[in-house]
Amino acid sequence: MVIFGKKPLIKGCVLSIVANPDDVYWNSFLPAFFDRMSVQMRKNMSAIVQPYGLTHSHAIYLIALHLQDGQTLVGLSRFLDLDTANTNRVIKVLRENGFIYDDRESESSKKYHIFLTEKGHSLAKAVMDKITELNNSYFEGLPREDILNMRNTLIKVLNNMNLDIDSYMASKYEDPFYTHLHIVPSDDDYDTMPIVAGKKTAVKQAR
Residue 98 lies in a domain: no
How many whole angstroms separate alpha carbon 71 and alpha carbon 206? 16
What local confidence, expressed as pLDDT, does residue 174 receive? 44
Residue 6 lies in a domain: no
What local confidence, expressed as pLDDT, does residue 57 receive? 93
Model confidence at 165, pLDDT cuts 50, 70, 90, reads low
What local confidence, expressed as pLDDT, does residue 91 receive? 95
What local confidence, expressed as pLDDT, does residue 35 receive? 87
Residue 90 lies in a domain: no
Q: Domains in the chain: how many in total?
A: 1
DSSP for 127-196, please give it.
HHHHHHHHHHHHTTT--HHHHHHHHHHHHHHHHHH-TTHHHHHT-SSSS-GGGG---S-TT--S-----E
The mean pLDDT value of the chain amounts to 75
Burial class (CB in 10 A: 0-12, 13-18, 19+), 8: exposed
Residue 5 lies in a domain: no
CB 177 within 8 A of CB 65: no
Region of poorest pLDDT, from 49-63, 97-111, 118-132, 167-181 = 167-181
What local confidence, expressed as pLDDT, does residue 105 receive? 83
Q: Which residues form the domain of 154? A: 146-207
Residue range 62-86, pLDDT digits in tens: 999 998 899 999 889 888 888 889 9
Residue 46 lies in a domain: no
What local confidence, expressed as pLDDT, does residue 9 receive? 37
Residue 93 lies in a domain: no
Residue 37 lies in a domain: no
Residue 35 lies in a domain: no
CB 115 within 8 A of CB 62: no
Is the Cα dihedral 101, 106, 107, 111 positive or negative?
negative
Residue 78 phi, psi dihedral angles, 5° rounding: -65, -35
Residue range 10-63, pLDDT digits in tens: 334 444 444 565 677 777 787 888 888 889 989 999 999 999 999 999 999 999
What local confidence, expressed as pLDDT, does residue 164 receive? 62
